[in-house]
């Protein structure tokens, strides 16, 4: 008996039941650190988050804990390699979060976590600190009760995922041996619509670009010059209309050339998912859904490539009126990509199309701001079956195999640099408001997710992964 009169737990489940309050306090402490990777003013907070995670890893008994420099925000590495003969898994999560604006739409402050209606509400609760924390607590429960993990574990937690820096790729390339494993486990995805347990089997890639249209060197009086001088904002509008048809087809020559369809089996499994278009529409708050002809909504948001305008600006945006021809106009464009499209080839084609669409009287340029490759996992890999059994044990329902429209550029990096099969073991709910005000994580997903991770390590220990 301990001094509190509670018998020390002898199995992970009993341990988790006894330590729930402490676990929440520890999660809240991590969520309170505003580790916003995109804002340089928060660089110190990112470092503080990395150090807090490292201290946690040391406290629960991980070895070789290191906060390593990458040139951007640091990565946290640790391992536990005493499960002789058992497989080795590399766990990846990110500790950085998205900016919080618009702040006024948060019902509680983003870095003051609270539980409201069964959800842990805070920036990063779902994406991705909450999921990172689940791994820490799973390791803690195993080491505290059994004194050992069933598998060898390496963890890699990064702080630049949301700001799409290339630093991690370089760091992974330089640390290949240290990161070698039999399987990679990435917890940065979520369940299916309706919070149905799911394992993600593909993510889309991304190309992020900016279009700048330049007209006269300064704004001109639209009365004195209008009619004879091309308006950069209108030229930009023409360019954008020429990139995507009203029906949703992308009008960039060659854009679809490398799109690799799913196999018939993959397609059947995917199109059988219980997707409710109307519920999805209501969640978005729009009067009607839109998209590429010949494809279902579930396909449009996950396995088809897209082109979107993320922002546009030009000329006068203040109160009242001002009569000008603006000197310049700009747009931020992103394309979600699917295998085998690449950001580089897509950028070349986008640039060529923009230049072709640019009317005389203005000049246009396209800069690439970021990119990441799409990813598909090996569905037949034995680790996938192990993960499926683990999720079923913890949540009581076998997970669906789903395809995600979001992007995790590091997946392609881990696959290429480390030759790792990857399991995307994520626990967010599509309704978690990731990147938006009032982000949260369903408390039950957090709690059962820790159990699923523990089951997964136990399952992996008895799975033949045939390196
Ligand atoms: N965790 C997300 C990726 C994701 C999105 C998974 C939706 C499952 C569903 C990740 O943190 C993210 O936001 N990625 C960015 C990538 C970008 C910053 C390069 C994205 O998808 O916009
Ligand atoms: Mn994420
Ligand atoms: Mn994100």
Question: For 429-458, how does the pLDDT look when each residue is reduced to its tens digit (9 = 90+)?
Answer: 999 999 999 999 999 999 999 999 999 999
**Segment 157-169, tens digit of pLDDT:** 999 999 877 899 9
Q: What is the pLDDT of residues 316-325, one digit of tens each?
A: 999 999 999 9
Annotation marks residue 96 as catalytic: yes
Q: What is the pLDDT of residues 180-189, one digit of tens each?
A: 999 999 999 9
For residue 357, pLDDT over 80 is answered with yes
Percent of the chain with pLDDT over 90: 94
pLDDT at 60: 98
The minimum-distance atom of ligand 1 relative to the CA of 94 is: 11
- Name the strands in the sheet holding 205-214, side by side, starting at the edge strand that comes first in the sequence: 308-314, 328-337, 205-214, 363-372
User: What's the confidence (pLDDT) of residue 3?
Assistant: 54
Q: What's the chain's average pLDDT? A: 96
d(C-alpha 222, C-alpha 436), whole Å? 39
Q: From CA 270, how far away is CA 165, in angstroms rounded?
A: 32
When pLDDT is cut at 50, 70 and 90, the band that residue 467 belongs to is: low
User: Which is catalytic among the residues 45, 96, 128, 160?
Assistant: 96
* Structure-block tokens of residue 98: 């998205």
- CA-only gyration radius of the chain, Å: 24
Q: CA–CA distance from 419 to each of 51, 165, 182 (Å)?
A: 29, 22, 9
Tell me, what's the pLDDT at 7?
82
Mean pLDDT of 5-31: 94
pTM of the model: 0.94
Q: What is the pLDDT of residues 238-295, one digit of tens each?
A: 999 999 999 999 999 999 999 999 999 889 989 899 999 999 999 899 999 999 999 9
C-beta of residue 54 within 8 angstroms of C-beta of residue 67: yes
Identify which of 95, 125, 127 to mutate to test ligand 1's pocket (most ligand atoms within 8 A of the CB).
127
Nearest residue (by CA) to ligand 1, atom 13, is 162
Q: For ligand 1, atom 18, name the residue with the nearest CA.
A: 162
Q: What is the pLDDT of residue 4?
A: 57
Which residues have C-beta atoms less than 6 Å from ligand 1?
Answer: 127-128, 161-162, 164, 188-190, 206, 370, 372, 404, 406-409
Q: Is 161 a catalytic residue?
A: yes
CB 450 within 8 A of CB 16: yes
Residues surrounding ion ligand 3 at CB below 5 Å: 127
Using most ligand atoms within 8 A of CB, pick from 157, 190, 407 the residue to mutate for ligand 1: 407
Q: What is the pLDDT of residues 96-113, one digit of tens each?
A: 999 999 999 999 999 999
Contact 88, 180 (CB under 8 A): yes
- According to the model, what pLDDT value does residue 339 have? 97
Determine the distance separating the centroid of ligand 3 and the alpha carbon of 12, expressed in angstroms.
30
State the average pLDDT over residues 190-198: 96
- So what's the pLDDT on residue 1? 46
Are 168 and 413 a contacting pair, CB within 8 Å? Answer: yes
């Amino acid at each position: 008996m301990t001094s509190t009169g509670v018998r020390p737990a002898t199995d992970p489940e009993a341990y988790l039941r006894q330590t729930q309050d402490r676990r929440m306090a520890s999660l809240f402490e991590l969520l309170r650190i505003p580790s916003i990777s995109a804002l340089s003013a928060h660089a110190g907070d990112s470092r503080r988050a990395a150090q807090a995670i490292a201290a946690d890893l040391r406290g629960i008994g991980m070895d070789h804990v290191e906060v390593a420099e990458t040139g951007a925000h640091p990565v946290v590495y640790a391992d536990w390699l005493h499960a002789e003969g058992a497989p080795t898994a590399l766990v990846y999560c990110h500790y950085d979060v998205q900016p919080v604006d618009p702040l006024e739409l948060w019902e509680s402050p983003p870095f003051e976590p609270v539980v409201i209606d069964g959800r842990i509400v805070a920036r990063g609760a779902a994406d991705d600190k909450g999921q990172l924390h689940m791994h820490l607590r799973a390791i803690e429960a195993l080491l505290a009760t059994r004194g050992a993990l069933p598998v060898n574990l390496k963890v890699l937690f990064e702080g630049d995922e949301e700001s799409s820096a290339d630093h991690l790729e370089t760091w992974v390339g330089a640390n290949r041996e240290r990161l070698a494993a039999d399987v990679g486990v990435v917890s940065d995805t979520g369940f299916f619509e309706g919070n149905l347990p799911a394992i993600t089997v593909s993510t889309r890639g991304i190309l992020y670009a900016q279009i700048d249209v330049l007209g006269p060197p300064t704004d001109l009086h639209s009365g004195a010059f209008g009619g004879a001088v091309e308006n950069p904002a209108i030229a930009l509008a023409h360019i954008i209309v020429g990139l995507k048809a009203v029906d949703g087809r992308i009008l960039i020559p060659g854009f679809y050339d490398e799109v690799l369809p799913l196999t018939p089996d993959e397609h059947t499994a995917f199109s059988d998912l219980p997707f409710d278009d109307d519920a999805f529409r209501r969640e978005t708050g729009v009067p009607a859904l839109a998209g590429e002809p010949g494809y279902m909504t579930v396909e449009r948001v996950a396995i088809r490539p897209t082109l979107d305008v993320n922002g546009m600006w030009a000329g006068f945006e203040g109160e009242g009126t001002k009569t000008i021809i603006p000197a310049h106009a700009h747009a931020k464009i992103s394309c979600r990509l699917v295998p085998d499209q690449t950001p580089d080839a897509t950028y070349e084609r986008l640039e060529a199309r923009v230049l072709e669409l640019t009317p005389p009287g203005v000049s246009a340029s396209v800069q690439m701001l970021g990119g990441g490759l799409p990813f598909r996992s090996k569905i037949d890999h034995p680790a996938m079956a192990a993960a499926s059994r683990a999720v079923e044990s913890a949540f009581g329902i076998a997970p669906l195999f789903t395809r995600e429209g979001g992007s995790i550029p590091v997946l392609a990096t881990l696959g290429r640099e480390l030759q790792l099969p990857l399991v995307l073991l994520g626990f967010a709910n599509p309704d978690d408001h990731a990147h938006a005000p009032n982000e949260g994580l369903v408390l039950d997903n957090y709690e059962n997710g820790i159990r699923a991770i523990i089951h997964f390590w136990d399952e992996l220990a008895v799975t033949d992964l045939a390196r």
